[in-house]
Structure 1
Amino acid sequence: MAEPEQRRYDPREPWSDVLPVAGGSAASASSGDLPARAPTGDLLHGEIAGGHRLALNRMGSFDWDLDASTFLLDEGGLDVMDLRADEYDGDPFSLGVRVPHEEAMHLDAAVTEALREGRDEYGAYFLLTCRDGSRRWTHAQGRVLRDAAGYPRRVIGILRDATAELGHSPLSRSAEETRRRRTMLAQRTTTALGQALTTRDIGKVLTDPENLRGLGVEGLALGVVDGDRLRFIALTGGPFDGERTDGERTDDEFVRLGTDLPLGHAVLSRRPRFVESAEEFRRQYPQVARFLEPHVVGSAAFLPLVAQAQRIGALGLYYEEPQTFTAEDRDLYVALAGVVAQSVQRARLFDEERDLATGLQGTMLPRRIPELSGGDVVVRYRAATTGRDVGGDWYDVIPLPQGRLGAVVGDVQGHDVHAAAVMGQLRIALRAYAAEGHPPATVLARASRFLADLDTERFATCTYVQVDLATGLAQVVCAGHLGPVIRDAGHRAYWPNVRGGLPLGLATLFNEHDFPETRLHLAPGSGLLLCTDGLVERPGRNIQEGMDALADAVSRGPRDPDELADHVSELLWEGAGVEDDMALLLLRRSATVAAPALPRLRRHIHQADPEGLAEARAMVRHGLEAWRTGDLAHEIELIADELVTNALVHTDGGALLDLELLPGSPRRVRVEAQDRSSEWPRRRTPGLSATSGRGLLMVEKLADSWGVEPRGSGKAVWCEFRVPAGGPPDDRGDRGDIRSEVRTPGHSLGK
């Protein structure tokens, strides 16, 4: 048992932190001077003693000797406290079996304040815990007796059962209603916190105005432990509204952990602290009180957040008016703090995992967008607003030979780290195929085979566009993805008719590598927008509605590409709180286009590549169309095919095909095929039934000039064609600024 002097309690020492606690040894001693209980029959007639009169009214008296530290109760007082004589030994600490710790603190504050202010009387209501576990209201009223020097020596007072008084009073009913409302609010808040995934979500739940009103809170602060500091993730109301006196926002601010700061004190001590008056607040935390001025903090609750024995943070609740925190209030706040602690711990783990996933995804997206000549391109990427996992949305802008540009937007199936990893590999592979100069359809076909070879069950959708900003030619291929939105120079936006193929991966699975090509022409000042489905799809809504909304947003948006991209993403994604990732790419051709440079096309055709010759034909065809060669393009394409085929058939290696538009007047197109053989071609005279030998005859017939030149590792066969003079074709098509034509790869050379 502790020594008597260690258990001594003296309210005359307000600086003492010693408070009555539950427990204490039982004893049979009671004041021998207290009147004995009279038999019931004797109470009906005759004089009733004073002590009996008090007992009949559920009242009793106490005698508190401050010097001896004894607290004596008469029989009425024992009844009020629901104690038997053999259960109480006259030690104030022994009352802890009936007076909860929080209520004892409240009584102590009332006595200490009366002694400090020199008053001779005090009174306080408190909740008593009966032996059957029920709780009832009790009132204590005392008279302080002082010596000649004014020093308090003794307190004589009355205890009475206040259940009937408060049970039928408006104050009690209001307090009960407040407790009931706060309990319901705590339950609702607990439910909302259970759905919060991030620390930002938790901050939104706690700072919800309805929750603040329900708790009667004027200010709220939520901080999480970050090393030796507290990082605030929620600050609102009361002293936290608006700007700080130093002009800096309090949001996401760091403060050090320390016992001189209330939240830091709660974290370090792991004990809740309740401040019931402005004077007490200023006395305990003078630094914070000066910081909060001119706002008045009449009372506050500082709750530590502890989860799995780890200090998570602290929650501070501020009130303008002084108030008494009852045992029910304190239990409610402590329970709420426990729920918040669990939610914050879960949210921090979620944030760490999400940061890791988004970081992985971010490293797989392009770090920068190349600068363009003759146009502008902007991109936007937004990660999902909810959910732990990230998606496989991606974008890319690929510089191509002769000033052309490749633009791609795609989405790998799934929303997890695996989808992000597959996305990164697929993006790099598709970029490599495009940079090699393959036609768009070939790029997607090879990307589909690559995805299938990854041995993953994921498929991917994408749209790939090759654009020549000098001429406005745009070649579009789609693999199960949305086509582009076109906005003309007059800001009219619409979805052109674009055919598509199967998603990447599935196309290889079903051996359907047919990706039809749609050819569009972008007039000066017009542009196109590519996006993933996160911008147009909504649960329970037809996708056509989302596509119409996107076209409307593009047509009504600002002219500047950056501002337009922000306008679309904020209106259709951020404003709607979409739970899916979104990638957006906006390409615009300059309104004033400089004269195109005279280009040169080059492609190496491997002898073992069955698709190489078809790709070379496509390169020649598209180049000649861009150079406006008219009907001459048929003959040039035929001769280029003949030169390359001759090199592949009659030599042991591949061929290097060059197509160049030469300056001067008239313009000339030069076709050159190089190989590694030193043997020069020979002119022959084939018979009617011969299947070869007519190649050079065709060259002589169709070309204006031709020849053979030795090269260091072989030879080059060349020919030139004069291009007839003629103006460029009209930029206007069936829809004003766009002409579209769908082509399927692998068709014949003839048109």
Structure 2
Amino acid sequence: MADRGANEHSLPDDWPADPDPILALNRIGSFDWDLASGLMAMDGQALAVFDMRPDEYDDNPETLSPRIPREEGRRLDEIVAEALKEGAENYGAYFRMRLRDGALRWTHTQGYIRRDEEGRPVRIVGLIRDATQELNDTTARSRRIDRRRREAGIVQSTTDALAGARTLGDVVEVLQDPLALERLGAVGIALGLLEGGRVRLRAAGPALRFVSEAVPIRLDEPFPITETIRTLTPRFIESRAEFDRRYPDITGHLWRSGIRSAAYLPLIAQGRAVGALAVLYGDDTRFGERARTLLIGLGSAIAQSVQRALFYEQEKDLAEGLQQAMLPRTIPAVPGAQIAVRYRSARAGRDVGGDWYDVIPLPGGHTGLVIGDVQGHDTHAAAVMGQLRIVLRAYAAEGHPPATVMARASAFLRELDTDRFVTCLYADADLTTGVLQVVRAGHLDPLVRAADGTCTRVPVPGGMPLGLSAEFGEAQYPVATVELDPGNTLILCTDGLVERPGDDLDDGFRALARLVREGPAEPDALADVLCADVDRRDGQDDVAILLMRRRAGATPAAGGRLRQHVAPEDPEALAGARHLIRAAVRSWGSGERADEIELAADEMITNALMHTEGSAVVTLRVLTGTDRRLRVEVEDTSSALPRRREAAEDGVSGRGLLLVDRLADGWGVEARGTGKSVWCEFVVPPGPATAGRGPYEERPGGG
């Protein structure tokens, strides 16, 4: 023990130190406040804190009043009174006091309350010290912490904002945000991207208006942004003098733009340069180590976002190019109508979609209109779309009725051995009459915008989507007849134009109808308005749009005739034929004889269906000669000639040809190789602007 003690360090003779010197060395004074007498004893150090000499203090606390501002004194009294009342053992407070020269400084006091056996406060002993340095250190520390948080916040906020940026335009928008520039203390930014060995500025802004964004810069040109990309090294230009020395060729332009200093940061992603970012300042800037670290970290975050945006745009361009290649390259001119088509890919995705449109010339001067949407967003959906579009176009061009076209397309899709289904709407449009025969396979209803601007949804009975109908053995599609008056516009679209997040389909149709009602009448301008709405809503789905406006005025030719097949025992076919006849005779200007023509044609068709075993074919033609006449022909496969007879009083038939004879200006029967044709003619008023032969009229005997 003695040996171990001899090897230890010897303690000082005055150890442990007396508490009083310790307090004095730390500039801490003490006080003793007797609450009964009100006297407060203070040692020399305490008086020094108050900037008072011992001879200036008489143990009366009121003597300290000139040293303590009134508001500070009131606050101290409240703190002490509350501690005494609440039974606390101590209290502490910072307050300001006034020195002899009138200056204020921060002071801290800590009081310890002594109580008697009954808990009444009798005495307060405590400490008082100069807290100026302490608060200065605390403030400086807080400022350093705030600065570091602010610097970290700049990177974090920029990174968070860039997280939602998909395109280069989005990235530029984030970088040019005035709040982001304010955080950096910058007046502008410039983003240069490396494209094919050249640097193209994608965001120069007003600070670099002298640089054309359309003209790329060679990588070997002596500019700070090109040098930064070549060397992959940041460059910090801190003053105008440094700019003059290092880059004299551009300094004149910079000064006129108000730029005096700049930081050039290489944008490096996956080990290669994708470009550089210039952060521009309007005054001389000292880039210390912390500022350089901050800017380099910011450049790293921006580089990743730029690369993501480049990949996104490349993939999106590829997807859109594939989609556009599968859509019709040109839309045929349709006499008597204005056509507008649009396709918009989903902004949120990069995969190719299956939405499409088509306009198909049909026999007899009709026009086929198609809008469709293949399930899914990938190359398989696009492949299905491409095949189905070609097949549907082929079936339609062969002259099959709309229901047959849709049924065969569904069967074809089933044979493709694909799990995708397709929604589709097909319309056979006769623009001489404005009658459209519409078939819908699980698709949206069409809309019609009237010439006065009103827009309504047209309910159309529908069948199952293509592919599903064949699979479930429900390949029958009902055919609806829609009339399109001159000046009206038919609107076909896929669900991306109607569906809105949080709204049901009816709300979407109402919003679309309102947009159409408030939009322009011209189809191309209206299509642009609809696409702009999709872009504004940041559409989550592809959109295909097909608009057809029937021209007012002249009616186009339709092969010289209106021709319609009517199958036996098919009430819908008979109703559709009646609808077509009604629309045709009124569209062709039959005047007051329209009802007579409709009635005669209806009787002739009914006779053909009742007294023969096959279908009937009704044909309407306008003939011009001495008089303008409308001819109705009904063909059937029976060679037996009809005869006019009077019906018995209680009979339900026999009046057909009698009515035709009474109503028409002439009628007759013509033998055909496979049957016969019953015809009748009506003299009708001259059509508008028909000094001679109208654009859709035939001479007598034109067959």
Instruction: Determine helix, strand or coil for the equivalent of 2:202.
Output: strand
Q: What's the CA shift string for 1:260-308, capped at 9, x where partnerless?
A: 1111101111111111111112221222323334022222111112222
CA gap of 1:171–1:468, structure 2 versus 1, over 3 A, is farther
Match of 1:222 in 2: 191
Asked if residue 364 in structure 1 is aligned to residue 347 in structure 2, the reply is no
Asked if residue 457 in structure 1 is aligned to residue 419 in structure 2, the reply is yes
Match of 1:385 in 2: 347
Asked if residue 631 in structure 1 is aligned to residue 599 in structure 2, the reply is yes
Asked if residue 576 in structure 1 is aligned to residue 534 in structure 2, the reply is no
Answer yes or no: is the 8 Å Cα contact 1:705–1:720 preserved in 2.
yes
Instruction: Determine helix, strand or coil for the equivalent of 1:314.
Output: strand
CA gap of 1:300–1:168, structure 2 versus 1, over 3 A, is farther
Q: What's the CA shift string for 1:163-184, capped at 9, x where partnerless?
A: x99x959999767644432321
CA gap of 1:597–1:474, structure 2 versus 1, over 3 A, is closer
Answer yes or no: is the 8 Å Cα contact 1:598–1:661 preserved in 2.
no
Instruction: Determine helix, strand or coil for the equivalent of 1:705.
Output: strand
Q: Pick from 158, 183, 200 the counterpart of residue 152 of structure 2.
A: 183
| 1:335-346 map, 5 Å | 335-346=297-308
Answer yes or no: is the 8 Å Cα contact 1:274–1:325 preserved in 2.
yes
Asked if residue 274 in structure 1 is aligned to residue 236 in structure 2, the reply is yes
Q: What's the CA shift string for 1:161-211, capped at 9, x where partnerless?
A: xxx99x959999767644432321212222333343332322222222222
Match of 2:502 in 1: 540
Match of 1:402 in 2: 364
Answer yes or no: is the 8 Å Cα contact 1:662–1:669 preserved in 2.
no
Match of 2:43 in 1: none
Structure 1: gaps of 5 or more residues? 1-40, 42-163, 648-655, 675-679, 684-697, 709-714, 729-751
How many Å apart are 1:314 and its aligned residue? 0.9
Instruction: Determine helix, strand or coil for the equivalent of 1:587.
Output: strand
| 1:54-133 map, 5 Å | none
Answer yes or no: is the 8 Å Cα contact 1:223–1:314 preserved in 2.
yes
CA gap of 1:181–1:644, structure 2 versus 1, over 3 A, is farther
Q: What's the CA shift string for 1:497-532, capped at 9, x where partnerless?
A: 322222222222222223222212222222221111
Answer yes or no: is the 8 Å Cα contact 1:439–1:615 preserved in 2.
no
Q: Which amino acid aligns with 2:546?
A: L
| 1:269-668 map, 5 Å | 269-570=231-532, 572-594=533-555, 599-600=560-561, 624=581, 627-628=584-585, 629-634=597-602, 637=605, 659=619, 661=621, 663-664=623-624, 667-668=630-631
Match of 2:118 in 1: none
Q: Pick from 677, 690, 694 the counterpart of residue 719 of structure 1.
A: 677
How many Å apart are 1:682 and its aligned residue? 9.7
Instruction: Tell me the distance in 1 between the aligned counterparts of 2:256 and 2:140.
Output: 31
Match of 2:173 in 1: 204
Instruction: Tell me the distance in 2 between the aligned counterparts of 1:727 and 1:601.
Output: 19
Match of 2:664 in 1: none
How many Å apart are 1:379 and its aligned residue? 1.8
- Please provide the CA RMSD for this pair: 4.0
Answer yes or no: is the 8 Å Cα contact 2:316–2:351 preserved in 1.
yes
CA gap of 1:624–1:485, structure 2 versus 1, over 3 A, is closer
CA gap of 1:620–1:543, structure 2 versus 1, over 3 A, is closer
Instruction: Tell me the distance in 2 between the aligned counterparts of 1:177 and 1:707.
Output: 102
Q: Which amino acid aligns with 1:182?
A: E
Instruction: Tell me the distance in 2 between the aligned counterparts of 1:303 and 1:175.
Output: 26
CA gap of 1:497–1:309, structure 2 versus 1, over 3 A, is closer
Answer yes or no: is the 8 Å Cα contact 2:618–2:632 preserved in 1.
no
Larger radius of gyration: 2
CA gap of 1:300–1:643, structure 2 versus 1, over 3 A, is farther
Instruction: Tell me the distance in 2 between the aligned counterparts of 1:184 and 1:438.
Output: 67
Instruction: Tell me the distance in 2 between the aligned counterparts of 1:262 and 1:673.
Output: 87
Q: Pick from 700, 706, 717 the counterpart of residue 670 of structure 2.
A: 706
Deviates more, 1:656-665 or 1:323-332: 656-665
| 1:660-699 map, 5 Å | 661=621, 663-664=623-624, 667-670=630-633
Answer yes or no: is the 8 Å Cα contact 1:406–1:464 preserved in 2.
yes
Instruction: Tell me the distance in 2 between the aligned counterparts of 1:388 and 1:427.
Output: 22
CA gap of 1:181–1:251, structure 2 versus 1, over 3 A, is farther
Q: Which amino acid aligns with 2:198?
A: R
Q: What's the CA shift string for 1:101-147, capped at 9, x where partnerless?
A: xxxxxxxxxxxxxxxxxxxxxxxxxxxxxxxxxxxxxxxxxxxxxxx
Answer yes or no: is the 8 Å Cα contact 1:485–1:495 preserved in 2.
yes
Instruction: Determine helix, strand or coil for the equivalent of 1:631.
Output: helix
Instruction: Determine helix, strand or coil for the equivalent of 1:312.
Output: strand
Q: Which amino acid aligns with 1:388?
A: R
Instruction: Tell me the distance in 1 between the aligned counterparts of 2:324 and 2:233.
Output: 42
Answer yes or no: is the 8 Å Cα contact 2:601–2:632 preserved in 1.
no
Q: Which amino acid aligns with 1:668?
A: R
How many Å apart are 1:344 and its aligned residue? 2.3
Q: Pick from 207, 218, 223 the counterpart of residue 239 of structure 1.
A: 207
CA gap of 1:716–1:617, structure 2 versus 1, over 3 A, is farther
Answer yes or no: is the 8 Å Cα contact 1:643–1:717 preserved in 2.
no
Answer yes or no: is the 8 Å Cα contact 1:524–1:593 preserved in 2.
no
How many Å apart are 1:662 and its aligned residue? 6.5
Deviates more, 1:664-673 or 1:354-363: 664-673
Answer yes or no: is the 8 Å Cα contact 1:672–1:716 preserved in 2.
no
Structure 2: gaps of 5 or more residues? 1-11, 13-132, 586-596, 642-655, 661-666, 687-703
Instruction: Tell me the distance in 2 between the aligned counterparts of 1:547 and 1:583.
Output: 15
Match of 2:20 in 1: none
Deviates more, 1:272-281 or 1:385-394: 385-394
Answer yes or no: is the 8 Å Cα contact 2:403–2:477 preserved in 1.
yes
Instruction: Tell me the distance in 2 between the aligned counterparts of 1:188 and 1:314.
Output: 20
Instruction: Determine helix, strand or coil for the equivalent of 2:349.
Output: coil
Instruction: Tell me the distance in 2 between the aligned counterparts of 1:644 and 1:470.
Output: 30
CA gap of 1:250–1:506, structure 2 versus 1, over 3 A, is farther
CA gap of 1:231–1:598, structure 2 versus 1, over 3 A, is closer
Q: What's the CA shift string for 1:294-351, capped at 9, x where partnerless?
A: 0222221111122222221111111111111121222222222222223322332222
Instruction: Tell me the distance in 1 between the aligned counterparts of 2:282 and 2:555.
Output: 69
Instruction: Tell me the distance in 2 between the aligned counterparts of 1:171 and 1:601.
Output: 92
TM-score (norm. length: structure 2): 0.66
Instruction: Tell me the distance in 1 between the aligned counterparts of 2:239 and 2:252.
Output: 15
Instruction: Tell me the distance in 2 between the aligned counterparts of 1:636 and 1:239.
Output: 81
CA gap of 1:658–1:559, structure 2 versus 1, over 3 A, is closer
CA gap of 1:342–1:424, structure 2 versus 1, over 3 A, is same
